[in-house]
């Protein structure tokens, strides 16, 4: 029997993560960002810089910013795909 409450699109799954109904992705927990809004074509992630991701100069390491930007862009690109679709870099 089909579950009619099951998410039909990746956007549904991402919304469930945002609401706390599903766990955030491991990378979000590792880096410390969180998804605060998602809609078709737009994702908002928040990140509060702490001491841990600082570079030798004491400022935020650029790689962390790239990870946060990559997460936001990935969410936007995946929100229109089926939940079973595999990203080109995925296995």
| pLDDT tens-digit series, residues 2-18 | 455 655 677 888 889 99
Q: What is the C-alpha to C-alpha distance for residues 69 and 79, in angstroms, rounded to an integer?
A: 16
Q: What does the pLDDT read at residue 22?
A: 93
- pLDDT, tens digit, 9 for 90 and up, residues 27-76: 898 888 999 998 888 889 998 888 888 888 988 888 899 999 998 888 88
Task: Tell me, yes or no, if the pTM score tops 0.85.
Answer: no
pLDDT at 83 over 70: no
Residue 20 confidence (pLDDT) = 92
27 CB contacts (<8 Å, ≥6 apart)? 67, 71
Domain ranges within the chain, ordered by starting residue? 10-78
The whole-number pLDDT of residue 8 equals 64
The b/e string for 55-91 (b: 16+ C-beta within 10 A; e otherwise) is eeeeeeeeebeebbeebbeebbebbeeeeeeeeeeee
- In CATH terms, the superfamily for domain 10-78 is Hotdog Thioesterase (3.10.129.10)
């Amino acid at each position: 029997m089909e579950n009619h409450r099951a998410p039909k699109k990746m956007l549904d799954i991402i919304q469930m993560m945002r609401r706390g109904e599903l766990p955030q992705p491991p990378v979000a927990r590792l880096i410390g960002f969180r998804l605060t809004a998602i809609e078709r074509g737009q994702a908002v992630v928040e990140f509060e810089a702490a001491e841990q991701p600082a570079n030798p100069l004491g400022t935020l390491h650029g790689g962390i910013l790239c990870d946060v930007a990559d997460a936001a862009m990935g969410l936007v690109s995946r929100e229109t795909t089926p939940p079973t679709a595999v990203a080109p870099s995925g296995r």
